[in-house]
């Protein structure tokens, strides 16, 4: 059977080369992940790209998960030695704390420059992450004005562009980055569910049933029955068929798209698709 999620490395290689060139000038990396899937939305190369730079880990979309889940992730990342910044870039929550951390990182950098007899200069930062995780919305919030197009369509940010955040901080708005190789299909499916990869990469009729099964496993089957009036019984595929038959004149694709959209828009509730892997790490 073909993989559920597929993308093509050709243009990714080109985009990656351009990005790597720009990264040479960068001091701080804002790594943006999706708060619903903090592990699946970890881009495998960002850590390596951030080596020698200051990395700020942002879990955006905090409104899309429960307070309890947020607290658990905070604690788990702490045990991993990571400080995370939860944000809601759409509403501007958690931004000030992040901005202050970037300013502190910049001040530390300038102190080091001064010690080496170099001139102080504005800190150069870049916002990196999978497509559609809210990078542009975050930059707009950091800038307090809408200068970067932000849309519910993965892959909207096309060019690399510097924007001045303050006299001491410049930001590079990079496009969503997909890794060239991403062998973890389970993570790729979660990215597809959360709309963090282009729709060309998957067939919704194969992804939506997995969402049903995930919700069932995570104890949220009631959210589906509340919304669609259909109890989750057998497999995700059967559920999708039943949904299509009952509500969409048997149109499987429409039912699949609707299901995915309802999850993404939060109509099924604020539901994280991942929880901290405590057992493996503590």
Ligand X SMILES: Nc1nc2c(ncn2[C@@H]2O[C@H](COP(=O)(O)OP(=O)(O)OP(=O)(O)O)[C@@H](O)[C@H]2O)c(=O)[nH]1
Cβ closest to ligand X, residue 35 vs residue 169:
35
Q: Please check whether residue 88 is in contact with residue 62, taking contact to mean a CB–CB distance below 8 angstroms.
A: yes
Dist. CA 80–CA 182, nearest whole Å: 23
**Binding of ligand X by 223 (CB under 6 A):** no
CA-closest candidate to residue 274, choices 57, 77, 55, 47 = 77
What is the smallest separation between the CB atom of 43 and ligand X, expressed in angstroms? 12
Q: Please identify which residue in 30, 59, 61, 193 interacts with ligand X, judged by CB under 6 A.
A: 61
> Residues 175 to 214: which contact ligand X by CB under 6 A?
175-176
> Residues 77 to 96: which contact ligand X by CB under 6 A?
88-90
Cβ closest to ligand X, residue 176 vs residue 276:
176
Burial of 115 (0-12, 13-18, 19+ CB in 10 A): exposed
Other Cβ atoms within 10 Å of 218 Cβ, number: 14
CA-closest candidate to residue 135, choices 20, 210, 68, 46 = 46
Tell whether residue 1 is among the known ligand binding residues: no
Q: Please identify which residue in 156, 205, 210, 221 interacts with ligand X, judged by CB under 6 A.
A: 156
Cβ closest to ligand X, residue 138 vs residue 215:
138
Q: Please identify which residue in 49, 56, 109, 131 interacts with ligand X, judged by CB under 6 A.
A: 131
Q: Please identify which residue in 137, 171, 207, 260 interacts with ligand X, judged by CB under 6 A.
A: 137
**Binding of ligand X by 12 (CB under 6 A):** no
**Binding of ligand X by 142 (CB under 6 A):** no
**Binding of ligand X by 38 (CB under 6 A):** no
Contacts of 209 (CB under 8 A, 6+ apart): 235, 236, 237, 239, 240, 256
Tell whether residue 69 is among the known ligand binding residues: no
With CB under 6 A as the rule, give the number of residues binding ligand X.
23
Dist. CA 41–CA 57, nearest whole Å: 12
User: Where does this chain touch ligand X (CB under 6 A) — which range of 57-65, 106-114, 247-255, 273-281?
Assistant: 57-65
Give whole-number Cα distances, 43 to 63, 104, 151, 180, 192, in Å. Answer: 22, 25, 21, 10, 14
What is the smallest separation between the CB atom of 138 and ligand X, expressed in angstroms? 7
| DSSP secondary structure of 241-257 | HHHHHHHSTT-HHHHHH
Dist. CA 127–CA 259, nearest whole Å: 30
Annotated binding site: 60-63, 176
Which residues lie near ligand X (CB under 6 A)? 60-61, 63-64, 88-90, 131-137, 150-152, 154-157, 175-176
In the annotated binding site for GTP, the residues are 60-63, 176
């Amino acid at each position: 059977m073909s993989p559920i999620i597929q993308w093509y490395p050709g243009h990714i290689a080109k985009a990656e080369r351009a990005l790597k060139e720009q990264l040479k000038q960068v001091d701080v990396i804002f790594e943006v992940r999706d708060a619903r899937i903090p592990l699946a939305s970890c881009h495998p190369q960002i850590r390596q790209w951030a080596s020698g730079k200051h990395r700020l880990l942002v879990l955006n979309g905090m409104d899309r998960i429960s307070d309890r889940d947020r607290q658990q992730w905070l604690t788990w990342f702490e045990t991993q030695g990571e400080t995370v910044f939860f944000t809601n870039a759409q509403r501007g929550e958690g931004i000030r704390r992040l901005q202050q951390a970037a300013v502190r990182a910049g001040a530390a950098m300038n102190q080091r420059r001064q010690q080496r007899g170099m001139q102080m200069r504005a800190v150069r930062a870049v916002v990196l992450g999978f497509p559609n995780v809210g990078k542009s919305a975050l930059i707009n919030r950091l800038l307090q004005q809408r200068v970067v197009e932000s849309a519910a369509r993965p892959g909207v940010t096309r060019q690399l562009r510097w924007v001045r955040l303050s006299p001491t901080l410049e930001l590079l708005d990079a496009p969503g980055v997909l890794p060239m190789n991403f062998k973890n299909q389970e993570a790729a499916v979660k990215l597809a569910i959360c709309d963090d990869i282009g729709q060309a990469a998957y067939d919704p009729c194969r992804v939506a049933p997995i969402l049903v099964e995930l919700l069932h496993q995570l104890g949220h089957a009631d959210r589906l029955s509340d919304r669609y009036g259909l109890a989750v019984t057998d497999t995700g595929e059967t559920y999708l068929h039943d949904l299509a038959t009952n509500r969409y004149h048997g149109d499987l694709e429409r039912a699949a798209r609707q299901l995915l959209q309802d999850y993404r828009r939060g109509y099924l509730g604020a539901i994280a698709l991942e929880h901290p892997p405590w057992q493996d790490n503590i």
